[in-house]
Structure 1
Amino acid sequence: MGNWLKTTMLLAAMTALFMGLGYTIGGSGGAAIALLFAAGMNLFTFWNADKIVLKMHGAKEVDERSAPLLVGMVRDLARRAALPMPKVYLIDSPHPNAFATGRNPDNAAVAATTGLLGILDKEEVAAVMAHELAHVKNRDTLIMTMTATIAGAISMLANFALFFRGGDNRGNMIATLAAVFIAPFAAMIVQMAISRTREYSADRAGAEIHGNPRALASALAKLAQGAARVPNPVAARNPAASALYIVPGARTGRDNLFSTHPDTGNRIAALEALADEMGLGSPPPVVDGGRPTVLPTAVPKSRRGASALDPHGRRR
C-alpha cells in the first residue's frame, strides 16, 4: 500500500474520530464543528507537522559551526543516499533516541538526543543517522509525523470531553466514556497505520547506506536498553509520538499486532543476516533473556563505554 493511500486512510479515520467525539460533546452541531476543525487541522498538519514535532521535543537546529562532526556525518550519508541535505537537530534530553521528520526529502530533518550521542560511538551514530535518512528516502516521514501530531490533538480533545458537563447525566456519561477510550483508540490506529515493516525496511536501507549492518545492530542494542531505563517525557504526554523513534520506550518482547516497532532482537537478527549476505565477518549481537546485548568483541575496546561525540555533536 502506497504512503499516499495510507495517509489518506489515516486522515479519514482521524476525521471520523473528531466527528464522533464532536457529536458526543455537542450533538450534530458539535459534529459539524469538529468536521471543520478536522479539515483545517489536516491541512495545517500536512504543511507544519514537522515543525510541531520538533517544537514538541524542544529540538534546536545545529550546523557545521555548532556540531561539525554530526552535521558532516549526515551530509556524507545524505550524499551516499542521493538525498538533499536535511536539517539537523539536537534535543537536550538524556533519553537516547532519534527520529526523522518532514513531508518529503526536500523538506526533511533528522534529530538526535544528547542521550544518544552519549552512549554510541561514531560508527553507531552514523548508522542511526543512516537509518533515519532511509525513512526520508522511503518517504515514511510524512505519515510518521502526521500521525503523531494528529493523535496528540485527538487526545487533547478527549481530555476536553472528560471535563465537559452538559444538561443531562446521560450526555455526561457518554462524554466521560469517550474521553477515557478515545485516546487509547487513537493511539491504536496510529500503531496499526504505521506498519512495522517500515522499520525493517529502514534498517536494511540504512545499513546499506552506512555500509555495515552490525554498527546499526550494536546501536539498536544500546538504544533499546537505554530507552527502557530513561523516561521520555514527550512520549509520556503523547504516546503516539513513540512511533517516530528508532526504538520504542519499552520492550514488547515480540512483534505483535499493536506494536509500533518490531522486537529489537528480531531487528538485530535481520541485520546479522544482512551482514552475512554482504560478507562481513564479526561476532553478532545476541539477545540474552529477551534483553538485547552486545558481545564485548562487537565494539572495539578503545570505544567501549565512550562516545566519539560530545552532547553537542562535536568530537570529544
Structure 2
Amino acid sequence: MNMMRTAMLLATMTALFMGVGYLIGGTGGMTIAFLMAAGMNLFSYWNADKMVLRMNNAVEVDERNAPEYYAIVRGLAANAGLPMPKVFLIDNDQPNAFATGRNPENAAVAATTGLLQRLSHEEVAAVMAHELAHVQNRDTLIMTITATIAGAISMLGNFAFFFGGNRENNSNPLGIVGVLVAMIVAPFAAMLVQMAISRTREYSADRRGAEICGNPLWLASALDKIARNVERIHNPEAERNPAMAPLFIINPLSGERMDNLFSTHPNTENRIAALQAMAQEGVGRPAAQKAPQPAARSGEGPWGRKPSGPKGPWS
C-alpha cells in the first residue's frame, strides 16, 4: 500500500513538473521538465533525507555527546522493535522534531535544542516515539520526497516568470497567461498534495507513538507545549523552506491552525483530544512506567554542555 502511494505521489509530482514545463516552453519544455523530474525522483529517493537534515542545519549526535537524548531514542527504538536510527540535533529554540529516511534501516530522527530544553523527560520521549512511529509506518520516505519535490516545484513556478514571460516566444503556447498559471497553480497544487497525504499520517503516528512510549498523556502534554511555543518562536530555516513543514510534529510556520483542507497538520486540540481518549481506554503501559532513561545522569545537556535556556529534563 505504501509503495503504491509513493508511486502515485511521484507520478503526480512528475505530472506537475511536466505541466509547468509545457506552460513555459511548450512540448520542448515539457520534455525537459520530464527529464528533470525523473532525475529528481531518483535523486530524492537516495538523498532527500540528507538534504532535509542539511537544510535544517542538523548535527548528528551519539551517546558520547548527547547521552540522555540518545538513550531515550535507543530505548524507544527497542520498544518499537526498530533498528537504531541516526540521531540528530538542531540548534533552534523552537521546540519541534521530525523523522526522515527511505526505510527503517536508513532512518534518522531530529529534535531541536528547544524541544530538549522546554519539555520534560517523558514529553521528549513521547515526541521521539511519535517520530519513530512515522519510521515504523514507513511514512518517512513519502514525506521526505514530497517535501523535496514540492519545494522544487515552487521554485520552478517562480522561475517561470523570468524564463517564460517573453510574448514573442512561440514555444510557450499560452504566453504570459501560461506563465502566470505556472507561477500560481503549480506551487498551489504541490501544496495540496502535501496536505492531503500528511494530515491522516499524524493521527496514526500519534496513536502508535503513544503505544511505543507507554502513555498517551505524555504526548498530549508535549503537543500542547510545542504548539504554544511555536506560536511565539520563529523558525527561520522552516520559513525559508516551507515545503518542509509537513515533516515536523507541529507545523513550524506561523498560522495554519484550522483543521481544514489548507492545513499541513490536524488541529492540535483534536490530536490532544484523541490522545486523551486513548488514555481513558487504557492504551499503553501503566502510567507509572518510566520513559527510557540513560544508565547514569551526566549533568550536561544532551549536546555536551549545560543548556542556557529554560530548565528541562537535562538540567
Q: TM-score, normalised by structure 2?
A: 0.86
Question: Is the CA contact (8 Å cut-off) linking 2:59 and 2:89 kept in structure 1?
Answer: yes
Change (3 A) 1:95 1:15: same
Q: Matched residues in 2 for 1:228 and 1:37: separation? A: 37
- 1:87-98 residue pairs with structure 2 within 5 A? 87-98=86-97
Change (3 A) 1:309 1:97: farther
- 1:12-31 residue pairs with structure 2 within 5 A? 12-31=11-30
Q: In the alignment, residue 182 of structure 2 is paired with which amino acid?
A: A
Q: In the alignment, residue 166 of structure 1 is paired with which amino acid?
A: N
- 1:1-316 residue pairs with structure 2 within 5 A? 2-164=1-163, 165-168=165-168, 171-194=175-198, 196-249=199-252, 250=254, 252-278=256-282, 310=301, 312=303, 315-316=314-315
Q: Matched residues in 2 for 1:6 and 1:161: separation? A: 29
Q: Matched residues in 2 for 1:184 and 1:238: separation? A: 15
SS of 1:89's equivalent?
strand
Q: Matched residues in 1 for 2:175 and 2:255: separation? A: 39
Question: Is the CA contact (8 Å cut-off) linking 2:85 and 2:104 kept in structure 1?
Answer: yes
Per the alignment, residue 294 of structure 2 pairs with none
Give 1:263 deviation, angstroms. 0.8
Q: Matched residues in 1 for 2:286 and 2:141: separation? A: 36
Per the alignment, residue 291 of structure 2 pairs with none
Q: Name stretches of at least 5 consecutive residues in structure 2 with no aligned partner.
A: 288-298, 306-313
Q: Matched residues in 2 for 1:224 and 1:247: separation? A: 7
Q: Matched residues in 2 for 1:166 and 1:193: separation? A: 36
**What CA deviation, in whole Å up to 9, does each residue of 1:26-57 have, x standing for no partner?**
11111001111111110110111101110111
SS of 2:231's equivalent?
helix
Aligned length: 289
Question: Is the CA contact (8 Å cut-off) linking 1:96 and 1:114 kept in structure 2?
Answer: yes
Q: In the alignment, residue 232 of structure 2 is paired with which amino acid?
A: R
Q: In the alignment, residue 270 of structure 2 is paired with which amino acid?
A: N
Change (3 A) 1:275 1:251: farther
Question: Is the CA contact (8 Å cut-off) linking 2:97 and 2:115 kept in structure 1?
Answer: yes
Per the alignment, residue 297 of structure 1 pairs with none
Deviates more, 1:101-110 or 1:4-13: 4-13
Give 1:168 deviation, angstroms. 2.5
**What CA deviation, in whole Å up to 9, does each residue of 1:158-212 have, x standing for no partner?**
1111212424286234213321332122111211133x22111111111111111
Q: TM-score, normalised by structure 1?
A: 0.86
Q: In the alignment, residue 72 of structure 1 is paired with which amino acid?
A: A
Give 1:63 deviation, angstroms. 0.6
Q: Matched residues in 2 for 1:76 and 1:141: separation? A: 20
Q: Matched residues in 2 for 1:65 and 1:59: separation? A: 17
**More contact order relative to length (CA 8 Å, sep ≥ 6):** 2
Question: Is the CA contact (8 Å cut-off) linking 2:18 and 2:34 kept in structure 1?
Answer: yes
Q: In the alignment, residue 272 of structure 2 is paired with which amino acid?
A: I
**What CA deviation, in whole Å up to 9, does each residue of 1:70-116 have, x standing for no partner?**
01110011001100000000011122110000010000000001111
Q: Matched residues in 2 for 1:146 and 1:157: separation? A: 16
Q: Matched residues in 2 for 1:188 and 1:197: separation? A: 14
Q: In the alignment, residue 264 of structure 1 is paired with which amino acid?
A: T
Q: Matched residues in 2 for 1:122 and 1:266: separation? A: 24
Q: Matched residues in 2 for 1:193 and 1:281: separation? A: 33
